[in-house]
Amino acid sequence: MELGALRPGALVVAPGQPDLFLGTRRLSLNIACPWPTSMVLRFDGPAAGPQAFRFDRQGRFTVGLSNARLDGKPVSLASAQRPAEASASHLMAPGQSLVVLARDLPAKGRFFSAQVEIDTHLPVSATRVRDETSVEGRGRFELLPGE
């Protein structure tokens, strides 16, 4: 996901705040499988703590899923480690996976979709550069083999 150019005059830094919030970006995640599949998802990327992924050397970004649907029907999401704690939206955590649930049970289907929200934070100190500088975060969604 491209954030575009960050220009010093456009960056709003609140006094006393160590981080600069670069905003929320939204996109759609769509998965199509040839046959009904257990939907267990993971976002794979370098960790920046227990709930975030690394953005450049010092920043972080979070990845959240909401409005999940399986074969056109609303479903809930839960950490594979705590499936009893299902909800309509869920933050993805490094090293952990999410299971798609229908009626509180792991669900199988062919078509999964969800809204992805990415919040990006960069330390104010990282914005003090002399020349144009690229900053980036990397990661990818994975559909894990189910039972």
Residue 7 included in any domain: no
Q: What is the pLDDT of residue 134?
A: 76
Residue 143 included in any domain: no
Residue 101 included in any domain: yes
Q: What is the pLDDT of residue 36?
A: 95
Residue 11 included in any domain: no
Q: pTM for this one?
A: 0.87
Domain that holds residue 82: 29-128
Residue 16 included in any domain: no
Q: What is the pLDDT of residue 50?
A: 94
Bridge partner list, 66: 115
**Spans of the chain below 70 pLDDT:** 1-13, 129, 146-147
Q: What is the pLDDT of residue 144?
A: 94
When divided into structural domains, the chain yields a total of: 1
